[in-house]
Structure 1
């Protein structure tokens, strides 16, 4: 049953269509909010765009990842607003509005899975299903003080989900607490193909932390220091990110080409008005050349191999989930674009390689949350979620 009072403006205003779920199961009684790029029987799918909504029709099927959650007992409470074409990390939609960041109401919720994060942070849902192409679960998780995950690319089915950039697209989820976060992982992930050892090596990427605001980075480092009391030593080292600019450019070009392949025909046919930022990114996507795609693909392959060698089978990289707390709602386009550029330097590690990344709520700055991320080898998702739970407990310790 949809929420009675959407005070957070997190949900799409669709008519109430009953969605059946199992009466019992590990997620029984847990309320599920679904990002509006996953199909749910009886509902249209907007992908944050009025023209996509008009073209979508009412779905006759439910996306498998949604169905898994319903069969485990989760109760569907509505489809949530997302950024237009899922092509933003801020959480402002020029057509459907900006969901409220319940953890910091004067700040953006983050996108593109803005409504799902908003609903969970504000207590309107217990589980928020989202997607992540270039940070769309990681940034809202960090901004709204939630647990979130970008799984290994291809780990979860994206059948019945609107494609944005298929070689980067993943499904992910949000929760407020670590126990439920693990329970959802049990339902969706199954066994790891490359489990971490009992005592994985934790490495703090010192040069990557330099991409974050100094005060925010200090708050995260303090949480890491607390965690060492229970987790054990965490090794600090540099990872040679001198080519970070090239990595970001490669990601933008590959994402842009795939986004245009997915959306270009619809946009060319109907010429819909596009929101600020999205219009510029669509124009960029249209202009990406074959030569740029070829060179970017080489950069991606080389970086994936490099990071795979660094992580091996039992190393986990600690890095900020975002360069700072969420931008203010009042920030202008220039400030938001600058934030996006800085944020992509952090997001590109998992986005470009397809490796799993979990965001943990461990710190604050100016009363707003900022998350810490654990990045692990491909196929280590379930072990990474368990490690995140342990790390969160350890980081919450206070000395008497």
Structure 2
């Protein structure tokens, strides 16, 4: 890295040349890459001193990064992640915490913390992250950025450190809709479920109730602003038992996280940071019966959401319950907020459907995002619609 990093978003690896196409649809854009994705000439540390020590220098680049380089994006560095990507806070006990450029007194969110900070801080035009339980969507909302969790399996995760493979997805951040859509057009082929110009809109009333009252009011006003241009959404109740969805997600994520990292943790007993240690301890205890119950709940919820959206529906919901928590918040407060947030974030994870978060408002001087979920396979057209929605709905800040 050959430039200043005032937001502490980049891992300070020695520079290695990374080739990119001279011309292409992303020509002129700079690219940051979360340190879960292999980049030739660099190690992959996954936010863990142990993984970094064992990594060695990679001789190949992850396909999704390679695709962006071939499209003309210029690599500028690898970005910090929460330890083993198992957090929503952006606070790494071993390597420190990036600064949220949009709200320096508040957390960045994670685990794609460095990628968000790089884009929000204008040190990169686009940045790749990963999203298992909200690790792109949460920091994007906290940093006032566009962010996406694509349909599960739509983009490759080859040569990427896993957390929970049936939930893991890559994603990316951008500051403005035009750049955000350029990346979508470069990465996605034609949609299998292309949305119409005017999709049917649904507003998830029970999900809005998960937001704090002040945030709910702001976001409902944002939705009202978009109605003249994009239509009146139909109110729906999405979940009969939101706690059941929450626990299904926790059980599936926990079982798979332990399958990914448990053997390494047990063999080497690395010191895990606050929160991460407790989540892995929980993950180890997930039973076969709990995992099976989680899978059954996932299957039924996926079918329910598919029936609701069909091929032409878009669901509107808050991205997070509120703006980013303060850095000074206690670990117990952050964990309580995380558990509340997972009741919103688990929907796209369990269904495998794409979700885009758009920067539309502020509260207490900090950004607040709104999300759109589309049918599985509608990613490219969902991005295009989300950009239109942001233009129609944003509360303009002087």
CA distance in structure 1 between the aligned counterparts of 2:224 and 2:375, rounded to whole angstroms: 23
Q: Which residue of 1 aligns with 2:151?
A: 152
Q: Displacement, 1:396?
A: 3.3
Unmatched 5+ stretches in structure 2: none
Q: How many angstroms does 1:307 deviate by?
A: 1.1
- Equivalents in 2 of 1:204, 1:257: separation in Å? 32
Mapped pair 1:257 → 2:219: no
Match of 1:394 in 2: 392
Which moved further from structure 2: 168-177 or 201-210?
201-210
Per-residue deviation, 1:206: 1.1
CA distance in 2, matches of 1:317, 1:106: 32
Counterpart in the other structure of 1:326: 324
Contact 2:361 2:394 in 1 (8 A): no
How far apart are 1:3 and its partner, in Å?
4.8
Map residues 161-310 of structure 1 onto 2, 5 A cutoff.
161-239=160-238, 241-310=239-308
Cα offset, 1:215, TM superposition: 0.6
Name the residue aligned to 1:137. 136
Q: Distance in 2 between matches of 1:335 and 1:194?
A: 40
Question: 1:229, CA displacement in angstroms?
Answer: 2.1
TM-score if structure 1 supplies the norm length? 0.98
Q: 1:293-333, CA deviations, whole angstroms, 9 ceiling, x for partnerless residues?
A: 11111111111111111111111100000000000000001
Name the counterpart of 1:12.
11
Deviation at residue 354 of structure 1 after TM alignment: 0.7
Find the residue that maps to 2:147 and give its secondary structure.
strand
TM-score normalized by structure 2?
Answer: 0.98
The secondary structure found in structure 1 opposite 2:31 is strand
Corresponding residue for residue 34 of structure 1: 33
CA distance in 1, matches of 2:395, 2:244: 39
The CA deviation at 1:135 is: 0.3
Aligned to 2:376: 378
For residues 167-202 of structure 1, the C-alpha deviation after alignment (integer angstroms, 9 at most, x for no partner) is: 000000000000000000001111101111221011
Partners of 1:54 and 1:268 in 2: CA distance? 17
Indicate the SS of the match to 1:242: coil
Q: CA RMSD in A?
A: 1.0
- Rounded Cα–Cα distance in structure 2 between residues aligned with 1:135 and 1:57: 29
Aligned-partner Cα distance in 1 for 2:299–2:225 = 36
C-alpha distance in structure 2 between counterparts of 1:13 and 1:287, whole Å: 36
> Residue 152 of structure 1 contacts residue 354 of structure 1 at CA under 8 Å; is this kept in 2?
yes
SS in 1 for 2:307: helix
Report the equivalent of 1:65.
Answer: 64
Give the match's secondary structure for 1:69. Answer: helix
Q: How many residues were matched structurally?
A: 396
Contact 1:3 1:78 in 2 (8 A): no
In 1, the alpha carbon distance for the partners of 2:305 and 2:326 equals 33
